[in-house]
């Protein structure tokens, strides 16, 4: 929803131009220009977060465009939101826990298709069958939703359900999953994962939004599964180990010394590199409403990581005696990006960069 001033500006009665479009299409028409020429709103809120987390954060406005002293990269390159264990991870690292699935063939003459949504359901069931996801109330409701909205996807992309049909035939039967968010501002809708938005007398969505919604909601209730939590932690350690090994770190295979457990102990250039892996989940989507709360959460995690680091330092002699190497370095790898200048705390999305360059850690 645009503020009244912007709306009045865009649709001023004496405005002139060669092309006229409906109000509902405003953002589609201006989105590229806004993203290309202006700092987007989400980036602005991340700047606020950086300012709340760092004492030396600054912005140089003498440069055009203004240059920040720090940048926050909140995700891995291909993810839209944080996921502690993706389907790709499960298939790559826990293939034996999955089952085979027959997917429908996508049409070759279309960029999008509702078949993508149906295939996504099948992939989730097959990838996470270990957790009996098909028996959960939430996933049963998701499958019901998909079956009901399919007839309303006429062009294989947009999903438009009349208000009466949506409320009488769909939403009243869904209790466990939240289909709508209470706000309809553009920024809120674009950063939160909502299945539908009410526009006039229609509930509207798309193939892309529904797929994102399904993935997000599925992982939200899987994250409460204890077995899923444990498995995701082990997979994260394997992902970290793979990066380290590819960058020349020799995996020692040591996970326990004198009943003390360790995550990943490696050797490189006759030095020991000991990594603690922390698979913490951070809901980055709430940044615009809760920047200060997110900054406090960031601070709590840093304190937790410092404590984990000190624990490793205090028992490092066990590793030194075991491997017979005197030089040892300790690091904490955070699954989700942490805002800090402490060198031994490494965000996972920076691990490749930090370990690939010689002597960078």
How confident is the model over 51-99, as pLDDT tens digits? 989 999 998 888 877 788 988 887 776 565 678 888 999 999 999 999 9
Indicate the number of domains in the chain: 3
Residues 220-231 have a mean pLDDT of 93
Query: Could you give the percent of the chain with pLDDT greater than 70?
Result: 83
Among the three residues 189, 222, 255, which one is the final residue of a domain in this structure? 222
Residues 243 and 206 in one domain: no
Check whether 106 has a pLDDT greater than 70: yes
Residues 185-192 have a mean pLDDT of 61
Check whether 301 has a pLDDT greater than 60: yes
Q: What is the pLDDT of residue 347?
A: 93
Residues 244 and 294 in one domain: yes
Residues 233 and 347 in one domain: yes
What 3-state DSSP class applies to 62?
coil
Give the Cα separation of 354 and 339 in Å (integer): 15
Residues 184 and 289 in one domain: no
Among the three residues 18, 39, 68, which one is the final residue of a domain in this structure? 68
C-alpha 219, offset from chain centre: 11
> What CATH number is attached to the domain comprising 340?
3.40.1350
At 83, give phi and psi (nearest 5°): -140, 125
Strands 260-261 and 256-257: antiparallel
C-alpha 310, offset from chain centre: 29
pTM for the predicted model, two decimal places? 0.82
Check whether 2 has a pLDDT greater than 50: no
Per residue in 252-274, pLDDT (tens digit) is: 999 999 999 999 999 999 999 99
Q: What is the pLDDT of residue 25?
A: 72
Q: What is the pLDDT of residue 141?
A: 97
Give the Cα separation of 51 and 58 in Å (integer): 8
Q: Which of 12-16, 125-129, 242-246 has the lowest mean pLDDT?
A: 12-16
**Smallest Cα–Cα separation from 10: which of 199, 20, 55, 282?**
20
What's the residue count for the chain? Answer: 361
Residues 98 and 22 in one domain: no
Residues 116 and 213 in one domain: yes
Q: What is the pLDDT of residue 238?
A: 97
Check whether 175 has a pLDDT greater than 60: yes
Q: What is the pLDDT of residue 38?
A: 53
Buried b (16+ CB within 10 A) or exposed e, 209-241: bbbbbbbbbbbebbeebeebeebbbebbbebbb
Q: Which domain holds residue 18?
A: 4-68
Q: Kindly give the residue spans of alpha helices, DSSP state H, lying in the chain.
A: 4-10, 26-37, 41-53, 87-93, 115-127, 137-149, 163-165, 186-191, 207-222, 226-246, 291-314, 316-323, 351-356
Among the three residues 19, 34, 68, which one is the final residue of a domain in this structure? 68
Give the Cα separation of 310 and 265 in Å (integer): 16
């Amino acid at each position: 929803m645009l503020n009244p001033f912007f709306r009045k500006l865009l649709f001023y009665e004496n405005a002139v131009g060669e092309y006229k479009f409906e109000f509902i299409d405003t953002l589609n028409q201006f989105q590229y220009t806004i993203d290309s020429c202006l700092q987007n709103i989400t980036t602005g809120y991340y700047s606020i977060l950086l300012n709340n987390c760092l004492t030396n954060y600054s912005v140089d406005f003498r440069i055009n465009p203004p240059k920040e002293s720090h940048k926050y990269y909140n995700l891995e390159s291909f993810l839209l939101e944080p996921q502690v264990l993706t389907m790709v991870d499960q298939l790559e690292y826990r293939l034996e826990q999955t089952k085979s699935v027959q997917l429908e063939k996508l049409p070759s003459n279309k960029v999008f298709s509702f078949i993508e949504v149906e295939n996504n359901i099948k992939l989730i069931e097959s990838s996470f069958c270990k957790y009996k996801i098909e028996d959960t109330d939430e996933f049963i409701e998701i499958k019901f939703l998909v079956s009901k909205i399919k007839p309303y996807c006429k062009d294989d992309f947009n999903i438009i359900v009349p208000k009466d049909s949506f409320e009488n035939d769909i939403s009243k039967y869904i209790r466990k999953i939240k289909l709508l968010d209470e706000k309809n501002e553009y920024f809120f809708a674009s950063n939160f994962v909502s299945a539908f938005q009410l526009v006039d007398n229609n509930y509207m969505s798309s193939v892309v939004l529904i797929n994102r919604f399904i993935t997000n909601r599925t992982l939200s209730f899987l994250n409460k599964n204890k077995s899923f939590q444990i498995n995701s932690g082990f997979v994260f350690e394997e992902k970290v180990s793979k990066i380290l090994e590819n960058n020349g770190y020799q995996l020692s295979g040591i996970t326990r010394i004198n009943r003390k457990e360790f995550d990943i102990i490696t050797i490189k250039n006759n030095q020991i590199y000991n990594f603690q892996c922390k698979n913490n989940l951070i809901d980055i989507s709430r940044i615009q409403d809760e920047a200060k709360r997110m900054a406090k959460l960031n601070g709590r995690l840093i304190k937790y990581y410092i404590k984990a680091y000190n624990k490793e330092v205090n028992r490092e002699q066990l590793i030194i005696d075991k491997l017979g190497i005197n030089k040892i370095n300790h690091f904490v790898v955070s699954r989700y990006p942490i805002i800090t200048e402490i060198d031994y705390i490494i965000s996972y999305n920076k691990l490749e960069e930090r370990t690939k360059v010689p002597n960078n850690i």
